[in-house]
A = this chain, B = another copy of it.
Amino acid sequence: MANVLSLQEAVAMYVQDGATVCMEGFTHLIPFSAGHEVIRQKKRDLTLIRMTPDLVYDQLIGAGCAKKVIFSWGGNPGVGSLHRLRDAVEKGWPHQVEILEHSHAAMACAFEAGAAGLPLAVLRGYVGSELPNVNDQIKFIECPFTSERLAAVPSVRPDVSIVHAQKADRAGNVLVEGIVGVQKEAVLAAKHSIVTVEEIVDDLDTHPNACVIPGWAIDAIAVSEKGSLPSYAHGYYPRNNSFYKEWDAIARDRDAFTQWINDNVMQAGGNVG
């Protein structure tokens, strides 16, 4: 059953050094304020899973929290590179970070399989791609009915998943609306979960087939207003596309990055963007 905690308490309680952590949100509802709290608490040696690392993991990587990143598309959407990810992979700053990369289809299926309690996901994937040459977690199986060759990847089963959502009710039931990505799967696949929300309301005021995650399937709820900026929350505030562009210059330079993290994360209580 979800406990309502402060973000500081929730991260302290559920994100351990060395843990496998998934912060999801497909462009929309990225849990930036939670990521910043992880940076402030100086968590280390994390295996970070996310389809699109985006700025949130660029910041975590640059701040030295990551040991390994599992992803399927590591760019700044519409802008260019994630310079902190590249600097870590190409030059080992602030330390070497291991990467394991998939395609989106495989990761989406791996989240689905994790939520579904399966050890693997099966897909028509990776045909002709050289990704299986550099990722030993991609295997192939034969369909026992048709003999077709199908790709198989291990399911995603993080120690803790963190997502942001529009709102929770007082029982901790959470509404996710708009681009829902793999957020529900991330929560259901994880051993523990933290959901940050814009607000807690009396009534979710929703429709019969809404994407609602029951409170009893979540460990902690933390209120975090504007918690996904510079990403966005459908119905609350738009994506700060300008900040995504500005990030390119900040992240290109180690000192500028360090200064930004210091000013906007370490010295700040909340999120920025």
A residues apposed to B, CB below 8 Å: 117-120, 122-124, 137, 139, 141, 143-146, 148, 150, 152, 154, 177-178, 180, 207-211, 234
Given A178-B208, A208-B178, A234-B208, are A119 and B145 neighbors across the interface (CB < 8 Å)? yes
Complex copy number for this chain:
2
**Could you jot down 6 A-B contacts, CB within 8 Å?**
A117-B124, A120-B122, A139-B145, A141-B141, A178-B208, A180-B209
Q: A144-B141, A152-B144 are in contact. Are A209 and B211 (CB under 8 A)?
A: yes
Contact A177/B208 with A118-B123, A119-B146 known, Cβ cut-off 8 Å: yes
| A139: chain B residues within 8 A (beta carbon) | 144-145
**A145–B124 contact, CB under 8 A?**
no
Return the chain B residue nearest A145 by Cβ.
B154
User: In the assembly, what is the distance between CA of A137 and CA of B144, in Å?
Assistant: 10
For A145, what are the chain B residues with a Cβ–Cβ distance below 8 Å?
Answer: 119-120, 137, 139, 152, 154
What residues on B are CB-neighbors of A118 within 8 Å? 122-124, 150
Residues of B with C-beta under 8 A to A234 = 208
With a CB–CB cut-off of 8 A, which chain B residues contact A154?
Answer: 145
The answer for the CA separation of A148 and B118 in the assembled complex, in Å, is 10
Q: Are A148 and B119 in contact (CB under 8 A)?
A: yes
Q: Give the 9 A-B CB pairs with smallest separation, nearest first.
A: A119-B146, A139-B144, A119-B143, A145-B154, A120-B143, A207-B207, A178-B208, A209-B211, A119-B148
